[in-house]
Homo-oligomer: A and B are copies of this chain.
Amino acid sequence: MNNKICDLLKIKSPIISGGMVWCSGWKLASAVSNQGGLGLIGAGSMLPDVLREHIKKCKQATNNTFGVNIPMMNPNSSIHIDIVIEEKVKVVFTSAGNPATYTKKLKDNGIIVVHVVANEKFALKAQDAGVDAIVCEGFEAGGHNGKEETTTLVLINQLAGKLNIPIIVAGGIATGEQILAMMVLGAEGVQIGSLFAASKESSAHDNFKKAVIDAKEGDTMLFLRKLSPTRLLKGGHYDKIQAAEQRGASKEELLGIIGKGKTKLGMFEGDMEEGELEIGQVSSMINEILSVEEIFAKLRKEYSEALARMSSISKSI
């Protein structure tokens, strides 16, 4: 096996669990790392002390590499950066901000830096900023999303061959067949969100996990293009936001509906009436709450079977 993401991150399996708000605590991250993938702690929903506690617990729960995802729009992001350096976290994923801001500081401290992008322009900018790899995330991903609405299938193919650093693909990945398909398109690894958000080890509320596995096709939709495009799951304040956008609501009105603390209310406290529920389009394909061990077994089986079927695929077209 010769996989640049596994080599870079010193992991056995090129499967990364997204650092999702209210889902990706030390339990999920360590479980993924213990399976040989890379587990990410999601700093976006953590106060500095909480992040430090999760890092410490993750170290106790796994001897394997794990990482932290730091969204730069979080007001505590510079404190989060100091904490991952102090705690000697080996891998940091930065997102929602300029990759030039922290890359040098992190790398000077021996940390591997991966930056999340949703378009070619920022992928090239991240490479120029010196990151070690990028996550390219398509329109089908849950939560915050790119303004161009480029889907994973188009984005990965557009980027492959244009970068000198390896690509991790995200958005729309929930099966081993999809992982293999993304490798055909030039990805070296995958970052999976929704499937792990609904796992047993996810910190999300059971109400949220049940809503994810009950989701049908068309039950997630991209909203909030006037603010920051965000994919929401039906339930919570989805209907209110949809109705407001249909009548042409202003930024201010939308900000009023969103309010504060709504993702915590929905995803962590389980309020399915008023909270904000963020999940990917693949939620329609997730039908049970599995453990991380079961998820890895499923993905590995599907991947192997898909690879075996390749022998009967047309040799030419």
Q: Which residues from chain A sit less than 8 Å from chain B, CB to CB? A: 1-3, 13-15, 119-121, 138-140, 147-154, 157-158, 160, 172-186, 217-218, 221-222, 226, 245-249, 281-282, 284-285, 299-300, 303-304, 306-307, 309-310, 312-317
A185 CB contact (under 8 Å) in B148, B181, B304: B181
Q: Given A154-B284, A185-B177, A218-B148, are A300 and B316 also a contact pair (CB < 8 Å)?
A: yes
CA distance A55 to B26 in the complex (A): 64
A317 CB contact (under 8 Å) in B2, B174, B176, B285: B176
> How far apart are A174's CB and chain B's nearest CB, in angstroms?
8
The residues of B that contact A310 with a CB separation of less than 8 Å are 184, 310
CA distance A309 to B2 in the complex (A): 12
- Could you list 5 further interchain pairs (A-B, Cβ under 8 angstroms) beyond the known A14-B317, A178-B185? A140-B154, A181-B181, A184-B306, A184-B310, A300-B316
State whether B315 touches A307 (Cβ < 8 A). yes
State whether B247 touches A285 (Cβ < 8 A). no
Q: Given A184-B184, A249-B248, A317-B303, are A312 and B151 also a contact pair (CB < 8 Å)?
A: no
Q: Given A151-B151, A153-B178, A184-B180, are A299 and B281 also a contact pair (CB < 8 Å)?
A: no
Closest residue on chain B to residue A180 by CB atoms: B184
The residues of B that contact A140 with a CB separation of less than 8 Å are 139, 150-151, 153-154
A177 CB contact (under 8 Å) in B157, B173, B245: B157
A281 CB contact (under 8 Å) in B1, B154, B316: B154
Q: Given A139-B139, A154-B285, are A149 and B222 also a contact pair (CB < 8 Å)?
A: yes
The residues of B that contact A119 with a CB separation of less than 8 Å are 217-218
State whether A157 touches B186 (Cβ < 8 A). no
State whether A1 touches B315 (Cβ < 8 A). yes
The residues of B that contact A317 with a CB separation of less than 8 Å are 13-15, 176, 179, 299-300, 303
CA distance A104 to B147 in the complex (A): 44
Q: Given A140-B151, A140-B154, are A181 and B182 also a contact pair (CB < 8 Å)?
A: yes
CA distance A119 to B149 in the complex (A): 19
CA distance A285 to B306 in the complex (A): 28
Q: Given A138-B151, A138-B153, are A314 and B281 also a contact pair (CB < 8 Å)?
A: no
The residues of B that contact A218 with a CB separation of less than 8 Å are 119, 147-150
